[in-house]
Amino acid sequence: MSSHPPLVQTRKPGESSFCFLLVMGSLYLFWQAYKISGFSELSSPGAFPLAASATMVLASCIVFINTLKRPAAEGVRFVYHCFPPIVATIMALILIYSVVLESLGFILSSFAFLFITIQFLYRRSVLTTLSITLLALVVVYTVFRLVFQVVLPEGIVPEREILSSIKSLWR
């Protein structure tokens, strides 16, 4: 993709293992595709997945071999250049967020997620973070839940009751 410098002839740390994993994954998917209907008819449900996964196996092997041929890049460390702690932290936060989203409900979990990540990445006063978080949450909730009627996970907040009691006040 364009957002990255064009491929250099060196090998980034982790690249060969990644490509190796792709070969292994492709082989596994090929096996799974084979299990759908074997090498039976050309019109069987498994024919197309077999062709696609065979292509994956082939292409990933070529990539893997080509990668091995390249010299390893110097002065590039996996932990620093490829997978820095900040990426790992944010990934973990997103993971926690999506795990608790259903049980805690959209409002509470999103509030916590936004507050923590903005505080962590933006590093301003708590008040600034709090107001940005609330503003964003109100906008997203209004657009998705109220305008487009996407019933977001309610979790422990009885949203529909609150909404209808607000509506009845208004009526």
Partner 1 sequence: MKKTTITLLAALSLTSTLSFADYPTKDIQGMIQWGAGGSTDTVMRSIAPHVEKELGADLILTNKTGGVGAIATKYVNAKKADGYTLLMGAENPQMYKILGLSNIDYSDMIAINVLARGTPIIVANNDAPFNTMQEFIDYTKANPGKVKIGSTGKGGLTSIVLAMLDSQVKLDYISIPYNGDGPALTAVQGGAIDVMPAVLGATIEQIKAGRMKAISLVDVKANKLLPNVAPITDALPGMKSYLPWGPFFGVFVKKGTPDDAVEKLQAAFQKAAFNPDFVDLMQKRGFTIMNISGEEANYFLEAYRSTSSWLVHDAGFSKFSPEKFGIRKP
Partner 2 sequence: MDALHYFAMSWLSPELLALTALGTFLGIYVGAIPGLSVTMAVSILISFTFSWDVNYALCLMVGVYMGGVYGGSRTAILLNIPGAPSAIATALDGYPLAKKGLAGEAIGLSTVMSVVGGFVGIIVLAIAAPPISEFAITFQPRDYMLLGILGIMLVGSLSGSSLARGIFAGALGLLIGTVGLDPMTAEERFTFGVVELWDGINPVAVMIGMFGISEALHQLHHMNKAVVKQKISRIIPKWSDVKKYMPLSLQTSFIGVIVGALPGTGGDIAALMAYDHAKRVTKNPKVPFGEGAKEGLIAPEAANNAAVGGAYIPMLTLGIPGDAVTAVFIGALFIHGLNPGPLLLIEQPHMFWFTVGNLTLANIFVLIFGLTGIRLFSKIVECPKGVLIPLIFLLSIVGAYAINNAITDIWWMLAFGVFGYFMRLYGFPVGPVILGVILSSLTDENWRRAILTERGSVSDLFINMLQSPLSAVLFSVIVLILVSKTPIWKKVFKPKIKS
Point out which residues bind partner 1 (CB under 8 A): 149-151, 157-158, 160-165
Structure tokens at 13: 């740390």
Nearest to 121 by CA among 93, 79, 98: 93
* Residue with smaller CB distance to partner 2, 139 or 166: 139
**Backbone phi, psi, residue 11, to 5°:** -105, 125
Q: Examine residue 36 and tell whether it contacts partner 2 (CB under 8 A).
A: yes
* Residue with smaller CB distance to partner 1, 21 or 150: 150
**Which residues ranging from 57 to 76 are in contact with partner 2 (CB under 8 A)?**
59-60, 62-63, 66
7 dihedral zone (left: phi>0; alpha: psi -120 to 50; beta): beta
Chosen from partner 1, partner 2, none, partner binding at 113 (C-beta under 5 to 8 Å by type): partner 2
Q: Examine residue 166 and tell whether it contacts partner 2 (CB under 8 A).
A: no
Structure tokens at 136: 């964003």
**Cβ atoms of 100 and 157 closer than 8 Å:** no
Chosen from partner 1, partner 2, none, partner binding at 117 (C-beta under 5 to 8 Å by type): partner 2
